[in-house]
């Protein structure tokens, strides 16, 4: 009798598993009921235990072990090799509704893209109060974690804040980017702490009894000498005040950082692996826009709120735009990981003849209050943070489109409004920063909208028996080209295969008369509109989009969007 | 055998059956439907009440099994790092921290492999008074302990006093006579006071006095029937006092990486035996040149080193053998064993092409040429021994932190792990 070898058995098991795992399930690409707009992860739970914050392990883990683990995950390997052969598709995000969008949750709130914010709202961002500088500040805790000096204080109104100071060589830089970053991420839909630039009287700061500070690994009472050491190097303004970045204590109990991978076991509401959340995958595009190079576990925060569930904060924007904490970004940041085997291999085998981009450019800057922040060397598709981020690594084209449309939704005026909240004293620096952000925004639009069809905001209405469909071409809306450069080819059918119409339109409007049986029946019918964008200048971004509408007597409803990638 | 065969078949069938059962597609929450969008009375099956969830079927778990195993096998390391980060935060700050500890590894030097640690404190007893203790334990019961205390003297002249002590024990120290490898047991202790100062931005001076106590004994590695044994006349205890002077002119440019320019080093050590009338002078001349490769960033550079060492007997019978210039080892003629060639003089030339692999990593391709001699007349082109190889250098702001190299020669292929630069 023939014998099975153990190796053969293992190979067979993995082969069968591979076939079953790669074989995709198929469900209807449209909703037959309401569209999901909210993910109910806000059920009251007991307060989970606090998680320690570590500055190093997440970087080590994500840079080395996670990278090796990816190669050992045969699901990922099979997808990687199966994709070019047409046998597998990218692993899409888990929390996406039938409109290819992210429902609201404790992670994400519909803001500027879904509900346009006014300039005042954009400028206010998450803020509800600002530090009261009319009276004394009392330090109630020394800041221990993180690389930057600061302290926790209570103002005259009893509000509690974290104070962080600019690097002595770059006055005004870190405090401004912290505030600008909070406005941008808040408007994008994320939960961020309140942040403001404050000017306080350094002589009106006192230390509460019992405050301790670490000194050579030992805890001892904090003294005014320690306070003076923290503020040393900070310049005084003519009125004797000093500039500081102040972040208000969040409402609720901070429980430590969340991770960009896995779920939090202590939170039963946390059901979606973070690396498969679209708002975290798509954040890569938003981070690339502002060169948010330090987007990692340690710069996030779980907060158990008063309603009994966990809010997921994104925080620490001191490493965005031109700032790298107390110093400025270097040209390599955003171009490659701190340890990047791809470039290391290339450098090694080329015997040094390959010269990476960051070696060709100098790190000079025009405005110290902006630091090193450029558009001309920005590569939207290649941007990476300083350390690998599992959610960013998983970003698919659909996730990128989601992020890109949020970025492109910020108008020039919006950008200026948010930049001005950083209170940058040099007007030319403000102009430079705004211009650079506008350029980088447009580069993001040009890059990603050429790789996936950027038609969005579909709407339909019935005028008697005439169905009117409108949509936005985000490429045109973003002024990346003129409207006459795009035309749209459509093919419309009922989902049962009944042909309804086809044609080409010059503007983003389609009109067709529906046959009576689609409108007069007892049940609503679903029709599919297949759209292609015809561009005068290239063939990129003309992948089709299938849009599904539910129609019936006096009824139309968008029920599905399926973007081809 | 038959039993095994019949056991595996149903097992395989069962596994496939289970996989088929479990690989039923996970129902996507996005596919759930509801009848009404009325938020005031949301029915239970409304999608807004159905949470998303990441689910994997059995087939996907099986395919991910190797990564699970790897993941959990690395967690203990993570817990260790997290514990260390909490308990000893300065450990991860490198030498930016006030104190810390680094692991040390060394190979290709006096023993095949040695490992230990470097402990440092930047401000021991007083501000900027730096203390370092480094110890290595290696193959064949090798011990090397080095302690140093650095006291700044004058900031203006960048001068400092260094007190250092060293203890080294090597029961299988190699010694070559012609092509024959012998062993002896070496036990050396020394104490040194060194004064470093900068005479100008380009010129450095170093003065030192060293007391050393060296003992050479029969090695346990020596077998009674060995045709060649370590000569008896070289065994014994030596006590030597050495006064050293060294000047360096440094016209090199670059911080972490020296990218261009020249450095000249000249030095002389006057040694006197405390047990007899022997005294001798050892002098060395050294030049380093760095040349950037044209048309490429200057971080791609060629480094060239030339070095001459010569010992001259001033009085007494002969220079202690261990103080004679030697070639071979981790810093010169790297393809040969440590101290493979020994004479009263040594000449070494090294050429290295260094280029960045990464921010703080350099790749190096090198070629060493060297010979030992007793008289200058002995120096000849055809007497050069050659070695070549490649390696990786880990750099810090102060220069080399660690290097790993693979070196080849007509005698050996050697790997080198070292924290000491070649030049």
Query: What pLDDT is attached to residue B296?
Result: 93
Contact assignment for A216 to B6 by CB distance below 8 Å: no
Sheet with strand A160-164: strands edge to edge? A195-200, A242-248, A160-164, A150-154, A137-142, A205-207
Does B4 score more than 50 pLDDT?
A: no
Residues of B in contact with A340 (CB under 8 A): 358
For residue A16, the chain B residue with the least C-alpha distance is B16
Contact assignment for B299 to A332 by CB distance below 8 Å: no
Query: What pLDDT is attached to residue A448?
Result: 96
How far is the C-alpha of A220 from the C-alpha of A216, rounded, in Å? 10
Residues of B in contact with A14 (CB under 8 A): 62-63
Contact assignment for A347 to B46 by CB distance below 8 Å: no
Domain ranges of chain B: 2-86, 104-418
**Cβ of B67 under 8 Å from any chain A Cβ?**
yes
**Exposed (0-12), middle (13-18) or buried (19+): which is A562, by Cβ within 10 Å?**
middle
- Model confidence pLDDT, tens digit, residues A429-478: 999 999 999 999 999 999 999 999 999 999 999 988 899 999 999 999 99
**Which of the four pLDDT bands, split at 50, 70 and 90, describes residue B221?**
confident
Query: What pLDDT is attached to residue A440?
Result: 98
- Model confidence pLDDT, tens digit, residues B81-123: 888 888 777 666 655 567 888 888 888 777 788 999 999 998 8
- Model confidence pLDDT, tens digit, residues B289-320: 999 999 999 999 999 999 999 999 999 989 99
Query: What pLDDT is attached to residue B421?
Result: 87
**Which of the four pLDDT bands, split at 50, 70 and 90, describes residue A547?**
very high
Contact assignment for B92 to A55 by CB distance below 8 Å: yes
Contact assignment for B59 to A97 by CB distance below 8 Å: no
Does B16 score more than 70 pLDDT?
A: no
- Model confidence pLDDT, tens digit, residues B342-374: 999 999 999 999 999 998 899 999 999 999 999
pLDDT > 70 fraction of chain B, expressed in percent and rounded: 88
Does A482 score more than 60 pLDDT?
A: yes
> Are residues A250 and A303 in contact, defined by beta-carbon separation less than 8 angstroms?
yes
Contact assignment for A271 to B31 by CB distance below 8 Å: no
Query: What pLDDT is attached to residue A541?
Result: 66
- Residue of A11, A19, A21 to mutate when probing chain B, most B C-beta within 10 A: A21
Among B5, B31, B63, beta carbon nearest to A27? B31
Q: What average pLDDT does chain A have? A: 91
The alpha carbon of residue B418 is apart from the nearest alpha carbon of chain A, in Å, by 21
The alpha carbon of residue B394 is apart from the nearest alpha carbon of chain A, in Å, by 13
Contact assignment for B12 to A9 by CB distance below 8 Å: yes
Provide the H-helix boundaries in B94-206: none
- Model confidence pLDDT, tens digit, residues B382-416: 999 999 999 999 998 888 888 999 999 999 899 99
**Which of the four pLDDT bands, split at 50, 70 and 90, describes residue B7?**
very low
Residues of A in contact with B15 (CB under 8 A): 13, 16
> Are residues B96 and B120 in contact, defined by beta-carbon separation less than 8 angstroms?
no
Nearest one of B12, B108, B23, B6 to B413, comparing CA atoms = B108
Does A145 score more than 90 pLDDT?
A: no
Instruction: Calculate mean pLDDT across residues A250-275.
Output: 94
Residues of A in contact with B356 (CB under 8 A): 347, 352
A36-40, A165-169, B22-26: range with highest mean pLDDT: A36-40
- Model confidence pLDDT, tens digit, residues A188-213: 999 999 999 999 999 999 999 988 88
Query: What pLDDT is attached to residue A10?
Result: 74
The alpha carbon of residue B408 is apart from the nearest alpha carbon of chain A, in Å, by 20
- Model confidence pLDDT, tens digit, residues A70-128: 999 999 999 999 888 888 889 999 999 999 999 999 999 999 999 999 999 999 999 99
Among the residue ranges A224-228, A279-283, B74-78, B379-383, the one predicted with the least confidence is A224-228
- Residue of A13, A26, A274 to mutate when probing chain B, most B C-beta within 10 A: A13
- Model confidence pLDDT, tens digit, residues A319-375: 999 999 999 999 999 999 998 999 999 999 999 999 999 999 888 899 999 999 999
Among B5, B6, B54, beta carbon nearest to A271? B54
Dump the DSSP string for B315-377.
ESS---GGGS-EE-SSSSSTTS-TT-EE-SEEEEEEEEEEEEEETTEEEEEEEEEEEEESSGG
**Exposed (0-12), middle (13-18) or buried (19+): which is B38, by Cβ within 10 Å?**
exposed
Q: Detail the DSSP E strand segments found in B178-260.
A: 180-198, 203-218, 236-250
B270-329 residues touching A, CB cutoff 8 A = 293, 296-297, 299-300
Contact assignment for B23 to A32 by CB distance below 8 Å: no
CATH code for the domain defined by B104-418 = 2.40.160.50
> Are residues A194 and A124 in contact, defined by beta-carbon separation less than 8 angstroms?
no
> Are residues A385 and A392 in contact, defined by beta-carbon separation less than 8 angstroms?
yes
Provide the H-helix boundaries in A169-272: 173-188, 224-231
Query: What pLDDT is attached to residue B19?
Result: 47
A366: left (phi over 0), alpha (psi -120 to 50) or beta: alpha
Query: What pLDDT is attached to residue A23?
Result: 55
Give the Å distances, CA to CA, from B362 to B7, B315, B421.
56, 46, 13
Q: CA torsion A402→A408→A414→A417, rounded to 10°?
A: 80
Domain ranges of chain A: 34-448, 455-563
CATH architecture of residue range(s) A455-563: Sandwich (2.60)
Q: Between B156 and A455, where is the model more confident?
A: A455
The alpha carbon of residue A54 is apart from the nearest alpha carbon of chain B, in Å, by 7
The structure's pTM equals 0.83
- Model confidence pLDDT, tens digit, residues B42-71: 777 889 999 999 999 898 999 999 999 999
**Cβ of B37 under 8 Å from any chain A Cβ?**
yes
Inter-chain Cβ pairs, chain A and chain B, closer than 8 A: 192
Query: What pLDDT is attached to residue A26?
Result: 58
The alpha carbon of residue A151 is apart from the nearest alpha carbon of chain B, in Å, by 19
pLDDT > 90 fraction of chain A, expressed in percent and rounded: 72
For residue B35, the chain A residue with the least C-alpha distance is A33
Nearest one of A26, A222, A216, A198 to A143, comparing CA atoms = A222
For residue B19, the chain A residue with the least C-alpha distance is A17
Give the Å distances, CA to CA, from A223 to A143, A149, A153, A156, B3.
14, 15, 14, 21, 79
Nearest one of B383, B389, B353, B384 to B369, comparing CA atoms = B384
Q: Between B179 and A176, where is the model more confident?
A: A176
Residues of A in contact with B90 (CB under 8 A): 217
**Cβ of B39 under 8 Å from any chain A Cβ?**
no
Query: What pLDDT is attached to residue A216?
Result: 67
Does B31 score more than 50 pLDDT?
A: no
Query: What pLDDT is attached to residue B21?
Result: 42
pLDDT > 90 fraction of chain B, expressed in percent and rounded: 58
Among A16, A73, A348, beta carbon nearest to B19? A16
The alpha carbon of residue B300 is apart from the nearest alpha carbon of chain A, in Å, by 7
Query: What pLDDT is attached to residue B199?
Result: 87
Among A2, A36, A217, beta carbon nearest to B48? A36
Among A16, A34, A70, beta carbon nearest to B46? A34
**Which of the four pLDDT bands, split at 50, 70 and 90, describes residue B8?**
very low
Among A68, A269, A351, beta carbon nearest to B355? A351
- Model confidence pLDDT, tens digit, residues B253-290: 998 899 999 999 999 999 999 988 999 999 999 999 99
Query: What pLDDT is attached to residue A83?
Result: 86
Does A176 score more than 60 pLDDT?
A: yes
Q: CA torsion B323→B329→B330→B331, rounded to 10°?
A: 50
**Cβ of B44 under 8 Å from any chain A Cβ?**
no
């Amino acid at each position: 009798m023939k014998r099975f070898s153990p190796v053969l058995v293992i190979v067979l098991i993995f082969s069968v598993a591979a076939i079953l795992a790669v074989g995709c399930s198929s469900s209807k690409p449209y909703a037959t009921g309401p569209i999901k707009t909210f993910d109910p992860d806000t059920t009251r739970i007991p307060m989970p235990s606090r998680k320690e914050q570590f500055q190093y392990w997440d970087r080590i883990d994500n840079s080395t072990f996670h990278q090796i683990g990816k190669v050992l995950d045969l699901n990922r390997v099979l997808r990687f090799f199966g994709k070019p052969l047409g046998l597998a598709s990218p692993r899409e995000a888990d929390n996406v509704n039938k409109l290819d969008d992210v429902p609201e949750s404790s992670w994400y709130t519909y803001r500027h893209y879904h509900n346009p914010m006014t300039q005042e709202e954009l400028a206010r961002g998450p803020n509800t109060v600002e530090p009261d500088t009319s009276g004394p500040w009392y330090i109630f805790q020394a800041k221990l974690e993180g690389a930057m000096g600061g302290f926790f204080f209570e103002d005259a109104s009893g509000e509690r804040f974290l104070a962080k100071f600019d690097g002595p060589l770059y006055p005004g830089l870190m405090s401004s980017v912290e505030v600008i970053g909070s406005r941008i991420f808040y408007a994008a839909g994320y939960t961020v702490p309140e942040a403001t630039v404050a000017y306080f009287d350094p002589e009106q700061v006192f230390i509460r009894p019992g405050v301790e500070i670490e000194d050579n690994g030992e805890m001892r009472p904090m003294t005014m000498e320690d306070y003076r050491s923290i503020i040393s190097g900070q310049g005084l303004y003519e009125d004797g005040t000093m500039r500081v970045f102040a972040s208000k204590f969040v409402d609720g109990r901070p429980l430590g950082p969340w991770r960009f991978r896995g779920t939090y076991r202590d939170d039963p509401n946390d059901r979606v692996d973070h690396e498969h959340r679209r708002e975290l995958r798509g954040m890569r595009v938003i981070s690339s826009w502002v060169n948010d190079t330090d987007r990692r576990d340690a710069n996030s925060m779980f907060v158990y709120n008063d309603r009994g569930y966990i809010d997921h904060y994104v925080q620490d924007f001191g490493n965005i735009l031109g700032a790298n904490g107390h110093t400025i970004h270097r040209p390599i940041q955003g171009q490659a990981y701190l340890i990047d085997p791809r470039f290391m291999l290339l450098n090694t085998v080329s015997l040094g003849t390959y010269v990476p981009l960051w070696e060709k450019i100098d790190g000079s800057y025009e405005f110290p209050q902006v630091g090193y922040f450029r558009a001309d060397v920005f590569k939207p598709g290649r941007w990476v943070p300083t350390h690998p981020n599992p959610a960013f690594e998983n970003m698919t084209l659909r996730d990128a489109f989601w992020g890109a449309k949020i970025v492109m939704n910020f108008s020039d005026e919006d950008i200026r409004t948010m930049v001005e909240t950083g209170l940058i004293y040099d007007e030319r620096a403000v102009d430079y920063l705004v211009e650079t952000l506008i350029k980088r925004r447009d580069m993001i639009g040009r890059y990603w909208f050429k790789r996936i069809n950027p038609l969005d905001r579909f709407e339909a209405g019935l005028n008697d028996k005439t169905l009117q469909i409108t949509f936005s071409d985000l490429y045109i809306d973003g002024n990346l080209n003129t409207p006459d450069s795009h035309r749209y080819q459509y093919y419309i059918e009922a989902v049962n295969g009944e042909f309804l119409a086809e044609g080409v339109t010059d503007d983003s409007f389609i009109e067709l008369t529906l046959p009576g049986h689609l409108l007069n029946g007892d049940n609503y019918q679903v029709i599919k509109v297949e759209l292609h964008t015809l561009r005068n200048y290239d063939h990129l971004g003309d992948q089709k989009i299938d849009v599904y509408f539910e129609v019936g007597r006096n009824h139309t409803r968008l029920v599905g969007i399926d973007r081809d990638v | 055998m038959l039993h095994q065969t019949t056991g595996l078949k149903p097992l395989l069938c069962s596994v496939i059956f289970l996989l088929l059962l479990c690989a039923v597609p996970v129902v996507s929450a996005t596919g759930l439907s509801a009848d009404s969008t009325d938020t005031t009375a949301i029915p239970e099956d409304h999608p807004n009440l159905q949470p998303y969830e990441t689910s994997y079927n059995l087939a996907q778990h099986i395919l991910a099994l190797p990564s699970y195993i790897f993941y959990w096998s690395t967690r203990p390391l993570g817990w260790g790092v997290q514990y260390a980060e909490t308990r000893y935060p300065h450990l991860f700050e490198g030498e930016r921290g006030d104190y810390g500890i680094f692991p040390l590894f060394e190979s290709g030097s006096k023993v095949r492999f040695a490992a230990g640690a470097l402990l440092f404190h930047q401000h021991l007893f007083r501000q900027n008074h730096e203390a370092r203790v480094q110890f290595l334990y290696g193959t064949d019961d090798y011990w090397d302990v080095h302690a140093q205390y650095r006291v700044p003297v004058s900031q203006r002249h960048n001068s400092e006093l260094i007190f250092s002590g060293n203890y080294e024990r090597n029961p299988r120290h190699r010694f070559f006579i012609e092509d024959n490898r012998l062993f002896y047991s070496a036990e050396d202790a020394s104490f040194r006071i060194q004064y470093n100062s900068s005479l100008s931005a380009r010129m450095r001076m170093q003065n030192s006095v060293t007391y050393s106590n060296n003992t050479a004994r029969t090695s346990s590695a020596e077998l009674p029937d060995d045709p060649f044994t370590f000569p008896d006349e070289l065994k014994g205890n030596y006590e030597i006092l050495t006064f050293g002077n060294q000047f360096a002119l440094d016209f090199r440019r670059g911080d972490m990486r020296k990218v261009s320019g020249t450095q000249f080093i000249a030095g002389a050590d006057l040694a006197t035996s405390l047990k007899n009338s022997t005294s001798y002078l050892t002098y060395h001349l050294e030049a380093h040149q760095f040349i950037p490769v044209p048309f490429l960033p200057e971080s791609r550079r060629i480094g060239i080193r030339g070095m001459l060492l010569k010992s001259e007997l001033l009085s007494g019978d002969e220079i202690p053998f261990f103080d004679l210039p030697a070639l071979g080892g981790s810093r010169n003629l790297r393809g040969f064993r440590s101290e493979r060639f020994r004479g009263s003089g040594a000449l070494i030339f090294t050429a290295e092409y260094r280029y960045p692999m990464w921010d703080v990593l350099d790749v190096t391709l090198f070629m060493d040429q060297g010979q030992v001699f007793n008289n200058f007349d002995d120096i000849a082109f055809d007497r050069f021994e050659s070695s070549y190889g490649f390696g990786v250098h880990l750099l810090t702001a102060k220069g080399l932190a660690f290097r790993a190299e693979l070196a080849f020669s007509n005698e050996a292929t050697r790997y080198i792990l070292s924290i000491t630069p070649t030049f």
